[in-house]
Structure 1
Amino acid sequence: MYRPNEPRQQRSPQPAHGQRAMVGGGSLLNLLPTDDEDALPPFEEKQAPRREPEVRRSQVVARAQTETQPTPHVGGLFFPRLHLVSQIGVDDGIRWLRDGMLWIIAAVTICTFAALVYAMTASPRYTVYTDIVVDPSNLNVVSDDVFTSNPQRDAQLLEVESKLRILTSRNVLARVIDGLQLTRDPEFVKPASFASLRNLFSSKQEQEVNNELAAMRGLSERVEARREERSFVVVMKVWSEEPAKAVTLSNAIVDAFEQELFQSAAESAGRVAKNLNARLDELRRNVTDAERAVEDFRRVNGLQSTNGQLVSNQLSGELNTQVLDAQQRFIQAETRYNQMSAAIAQGRTASASEFESENMTNLREQYNLLQQQIASMQRTFGERHPRLVSARSERATIEGALADEARRILERAKADMDREQQALEALRGKANVEKSNVFTDNESQVQLRDLERDARAKAAIYETHLARAQQITEQQQIDTTNVRVISRALPPNARTWPPRTVTLLVAGAMLGLFLGVSAAIALGLWRYIRRPQPATA
């Protein structure tokens, strides 16, 4: 092969004309005619049309001449042939690969052996997956729960993301470590170098703390959780060196997650109940003071009440009723007296119905009987008969008795009227006095109602806080978190890492081939640019 930096004296002798077409590794300059060649053979004359154009041949000659000229300013003394890198061809690369075949074979062998060793010594990983629905809305056990649900979509997604962070939090992992005793598991707590010597200078408590930290670190590296897009489904991935242990870890993490959510809600409700109970003592004192102030005001002002109504108001109402009754009786007595007075003045004592008494009834019967006898005697004996005169004298006596009886009844009616009038006036006086007391009590009752409203408001607040505290205390025992496992972890059929041995061997061989080829080409390129440039003739 032609080397541009070789001197012309070291070129190989020109092959015969018949052999030029058969030489494949020569340079294009070998095809150019030399100075001592006067003419082409007949065979070359026939092939003259197939030669390169004159322009192409001149370019090749100029390029060869340029390559033979030294350029000391490119690469310097350390890389004298750095300017010739652009002239490297495929045949150079093939030669470099052929020269570095040992490097390629060594790299492939080493990488394949390393892949085999890794496949035999690497700790296997078995990964399981668990699908969990984390509903941002808690179970509506009571109408007024401690936690309110936000209907906005972004807020719900933030709440799911928060619970997703709780799933892989240290509190949850600490529950799993304590429950499964992972501090004693060599998979999570691997003995370090000089561990026995270090344990001699550390206490048992420090050793336990170090084991817990190591188990926490190892478990956190094996757990990963993510939320599916546009859903509330959380996918948890857990891996371990044993398939059954991976399933156990996944189930333990889910149980610890549910317990952590329940404990978090219970602690929040407990804090609220504690604050309410602390507030209840003050509210109870406020209600007692307010009710005592109401009773003291009633006692001082004489505001006695029955069935929610003041006694003065009830007494005033009763007196008004009695006044009306007394007034009605007085009117009746007065009317009767006036009627009797009119009957006596008109001389109707014998026939007036207002005079009612047993004696008056007997006298009226005698009078009526005597009146009939007188009428019979007048038709039989005439007006001057002695018996008729005697009957009329007896009638006058009876009429006088009727008048006396009527006057006596009139006097009794007058006494009844006066008595009813006195009773009416007495009741009216009492009603007026009680009415003034009612007005005074009503003025005091304005202040009393203000005190009662204050007492009722404080009592209502106290009762509300008391009922709420008891309700929240009971809610601490109820799990309202809405977390459901829709796909439990199942034992995997194959390990997820490392890949199969055949795959590792193929990958190691490919990597070794790549490294070997890269090393061979790099070594050949290094030798090429470091080779000294010969001096020109």
Structure 2
Amino acid sequence: MYRPSEPDRQALRLETRFERPRSRGGSLLDFLPAAEPETDPEKPSAASPAPVAPVEPGRLRLSEYFPGLSLLGDLGVDDIVAWLRDGRRWIVMALVLCIGGALGYAMMATPRYTVYTDIVVDPANLNVVSDDVFMSNPQRDAQLLEVESRLRTLTSRNVLKRVIDKLRLTEDAEFVKPTPLSALFALFSSEDAKAGKELAAMRALSERVEARREERSFVVVLKVWSEEPAKAVMLADAIVSAFEAELFQSAAESAGRVAQNLNGRLDELRQSVTEAEKKVEEFRRANGLLSANGELVSNQLSSELNTQVLQAQQRFIQAETRYKQMSAAIAQGQTASASIFESADMTNLRQQYNALQQQIGSMQLTYGERHPRLAAARSERTTLEAAIRGEAQRIAERAKGDFDRERSALNALRAKASDEKSNVFTDNEAQVHLRDLEREARTKAAVYETHLARAQQITERQQIDTSNIRVISSAMPPESRSWPPRTIILLIAGAVFGLVGGVSMALALGLWRYVRGHQPAAG
């Protein structure tokens, strides 16, 4: 390909200042509008050469180092094609190197097999105990924070330490890479070597474990990878089991601390309750406050005496009334007909009197008023009336004795009730302070019983796992490795990367030669 010399290019650029013909396959600046001609007579014309500024001694212009900088606007497709043709060996070399590197990486890279386990971490624990130690917050933000906290526990060192101990990963070459000097170090410091293996296994396992929570859900996805598919599944299952055990142990330890604090407090509460109850009994004994069925004996005795006084008063009133009625009947001479006089003798006498009265009435009708038999009957009637009056008098005397006895009993009961009432007032005043002491003792006893029941409940709570963790998708052995990708994909990626790198290198070298003024050979 013919390329004009530098002066010809300068003349061509000056001639085409006002119009730009499209040549050399089309320049990138051909699509720009041509500059307007200058009409100022005082300025030099476009055809006249521009004045050259004098160069100071000891200073060089940038165009002397890069003479092609002023010609960048004339770059065309032919130049780029020429650069690519001149740099084809770099393109081929980069392509071969990248493909070879991709093939080598595919053959030598350690394979990774990734498994996934979906776990539902419900922040609301199982409601096994009605009044549990741990409280659940119904607010969604708080529940999400609880899930995030448990998510951090899933990948914590405590859980990974359980997995390392269970699967003996310190003896697994995948997690603890043996070194030539490791056996020698083990001879001198076995403890340090063991700690170093545990630390190395912990770091290796933590790099292979990842957990994240699905958005807008309580589902946690556990991601575990290993160099063997079966080992990846075994690691995932061991991590889930260790996670459940860690949550249970954490809850049990928290409940144990609460129970321990409560048990330490129980001795003080028990002693306080005993002292309060002793004060109650000592005060009761000192003031003679005997109680039966929850009531003071003095109150019960006073109540019984009041009842007896009422009963005695009723008997007294009855005896008084009966005696007065008898006295009135005797004063009025109605002893024979008054029903108040009741006795066996009085009944017999009244029957005899009534029979004799009937005989007298018959005799009067039969014999007349002066018959001797009638007179004898009337004499017998007088005798019976005297006997009835005597019997009525004896009954009245007995009634008076009953009346006097009931009055004496009533007065005695009233005096006794009055004395007992003063005792009741004294006991009631003492009982005010006694109730205060009993109230204090009951309060302390209630607190003690609450703490005792709570301590026993929390002690039993340590043996119950209430964490609501469920595996909804167990880890399955993967069908293919997750890293590195398939060999064909690596080869394609290496080819694309090599091609892009080779073309970029060829274009960069061509551009460098162009701005330095080195022209490619004509084609």
What band does the TM-score fall into relative to the shorter chain? Answer: 0.7 to 0.9
Tell me whether 1:490 sits opposite 2:463 in the alignment. no
Rounded to whole Å, the distance in 2 between the matches of 1:515 and 1:200 is 52
Amino acid in structure 1 at the alignment position of 2:91: I
The 3 A distance-change label for structure 1 pair 200 and 527 is farther
Tell me whether 1:177 sits opposite 2:178 in the alignment. no
Rounded to whole Å, the distance in 2 between the matches of 1:104 and 1:388 is 180
Tell me whether 1:133 sits opposite 2:120 in the alignment. yes
Return 105-114 or 164-173, whichever deviates more.
105-114
The 3 A distance-change label for structure 1 pair 85 and 494 is farther
Rounded to whole Å, the distance in 1 between the matches of 2:422 and 2:330 is 45
The 3 A distance-change label for structure 1 pair 378 and 265 is same
1:159 deviates by: 1.1
Amino acid in structure 2 at the alignment position of 1:176: V
Rounded to whole Å, the distance in 1 between the matches of 2:258 and 2:109 is 53
Identity %: 68
Tell me whether 1:284 sits opposite 2:270 in the alignment. yes
Q: Is the 8 A contact 1:119 1:504 kept in 2?
A: yes
* 1:134 match: secondary structure: strand
- Select which of 315, 326, 329 maps to 1:340: 326
Q: Is the 8 A contact 1:2 1:27 kept in 2?
A: no
The 3 A distance-change label for structure 1 pair 120 and 502 is same
The Cα RMSD (Å) is 3.3
Q: Is the 8 A contact 1:128 1:247 kept in 2?
A: yes
Rounded to whole Å, the distance in 1 between the matches of 2:510 and 2:54 is 22
Structure 1 residues 199-243: Cα deviation after superposition (integer angstroms, max 9, x where no partner): 455x11111111111111111111111111111111111111111
Rounded to whole Å, the distance in 2 between the matches of 1:391 and 1:177 is 136
Amino acid in structure 1 at the alignment position of 2:149: S
1:498 deviates by: 0.8
Tell me whether 1:142 sits opposite 2:166 in the alignment. no
Rounded to whole Å, the distance in 2 between the matches of 1:189 and 1:153 is 42
- Select which of 414, 434, 438 maps to 2:400: 414
* 2:132 match: secondary structure: coil
Structure 1 residues 42-76: Cα deviation after superposition (integer angstroms, max 9, x where no partner): xxxxxxxxxxxxx99x99xx89989x999975438
Tell me whether 1:511 sits opposite 2:497 in the alignment. yes
* 2:421 match: secondary structure: helix
Rounded to whole Å, the distance in 2 between the matches of 1:369 and 1:148 is 101
Runs of at least 5 residues in structure 1 that lack an aligned partner in the other structure: 9-25, 33-54
1:461-500 matches, cutoff 5 A: 461-500=447-486
1:165 deviates by: 0.9
Return 501-510 or 428-437, whichever deviates more.
501-510
1:332 deviates by: 1.1
The 3 A distance-change label for structure 1 pair 329 and 421 is same
Structure 1 residues 465-491: Cα deviation after superposition (integer angstroms, max 9, x where no partner): 222222222222111111111111111
Q: Which residue number corresponds to residue 2 of structure 1?
A: 3
Rounded to whole Å, the distance in 2 between the matches of 1:137 and 1:396 is 110
1:391 deviates by: 4.2
1:264 deviates by: 1.3
* 2:150 match: secondary structure: helix
Q: Which residue number corresponds to residue 257 of structure 1?
A: 243
The 3 A distance-change label for structure 1 pair 156 and 228 is same
Rounded to whole Å, the distance in 2 between the matches of 1:462 and 1:379 is 102
Return 100-109 or 90-99, whichever deviates more.
90-99
The 3 A distance-change label for structure 1 pair 356 and 89 is same
- Select which of 416, 419, 432 maps to 1:433: 419
Q: Is the 8 A contact 1:74 1:83 kept in 2?
A: no
The 3 A distance-change label for structure 1 pair 65 and 250 is farther
Rounded to whole Å, the distance in 2 between the matches of 1:272 and 1:208 is 36
* 1:499 match: secondary structure: coil
The 3 A distance-change label for structure 1 pair 114 and 28 is farther
- Select which of 63, 72, 91 maps to 1:86: 72
* 1:186 match: secondary structure: coil
The 3 A distance-change label for structure 1 pair 28 and 143 is farther
* 2:327 match: secondary structure: helix
Tell me whether 1:241 sits opposite 2:227 in the alignment. yes
* 1:106 match: secondary structure: helix
Rounded to whole Å, the distance in 2 between the matches of 1:305 and 1:128 is 77
Rounded to whole Å, the distance in 2 between the matches of 1:460 and 1:222 is 55
Q: Which residue number corresponds to residue 25 of structure 2?
A: none
1:3 deviates by: 5.7
Structure 1 residues 313-358: Cα deviation after superposition (integer angstroms, max 9, x where no partner): 1111111111111111111111111111111111122222222233
Rounded to whole Å, the distance in 2 between the matches of 1:160 and 1:99 is 63
* 1:418 match: secondary structure: helix
1:517-536 matches, cutoff 5 A: 517-530=503-516
Rounded to whole Å, the distance in 2 between the matches of 1:532 and 1:239 is 55
Q: Which residue number corresponds to residue 360 of structure 1?
A: 346
Q: Which residue number corresponds to residue 162 of structure 1?
A: 149
Structure 1 residues 65-116: Cα deviation after superposition (integer angstroms, max 9, x where no partner): 89x9999754387x44373472573444444433333333332222222222
Amino acid in structure 1 at the alignment position of 2:474: R
Q: Which residue number corresponds to residue 102 of structure 1?
A: 89
Rounded to whole Å, the distance in 2 between the matches of 1:532 and 1:390 is 194
Tell me whether 1:75 sits opposite 2:62 in the alignment. yes
